[in-house]
Amino acid sequence: MAKKCMQCGGAMKSLPRKAKGGSFPDLTGDGKVTKADVLKGRGVIKKGGATKATPEMKKGGNWIQGAIKRPGAFSAKAKAAGKSTAAYAKSVLKEGSKASTRTKKQAALAQTLGKMRKKK
């Protein structure tokens, strides 16, 4: 008879056994025991889930193009407020700002992209 997990209300999952050295098993297969291994062992990350960088991520991918949903919208809001995009992003992300969630996300992305710009 399988033991019952009192917290989750179901049968307990059997975890892989530790190696003889006593360290946690490498469940992600990256050669190191990391936080991802612990989360995978606890069932937070599903077995077979992508914990490694995908081939698209390794190539560099087009994540920026995917992240920008409304090109020019944030800079237009900054211009309407009479500020630069960096200054407007800073004011939007201040605590207590009444900006919409979309504008706050756009401001965070603008700051991230600003940090990525090459310095002259």
**What percentage of the chain exceeds 90 in pLDDT?**
31
Q: What SS3 state is found at 112? A: helix
Q: What is the pLDDT of residues 52-109, one digit of tens each?
A: 566 655 666 677 777 888 889 999 999 999 999 999 999 999 999 899 999 999 999 9
Name the DSSP letter for residue 95: T
Distance CA 68, CA 116 (A): 15
Torsion of CA 50, 54, 56, 61, to 10 degrees: 80
Count CB neighbours of 110 within 10 A. Answer: 21
pTM of the model: 0.49
Instruction: Supply the mean pLDDT for the chain.
Output: 77
- Domain ranges across the chain: 16-52, 64-116
Q: What's the whole-number mean pLDDT along residues 5-25?
A: 60
Residue 25 has what pLDDT?
Answer: 81
Residues 30, 52: contact at Cβ < 8 Å? yes
The confidence score (pLDDT) of residue 47 equals 65
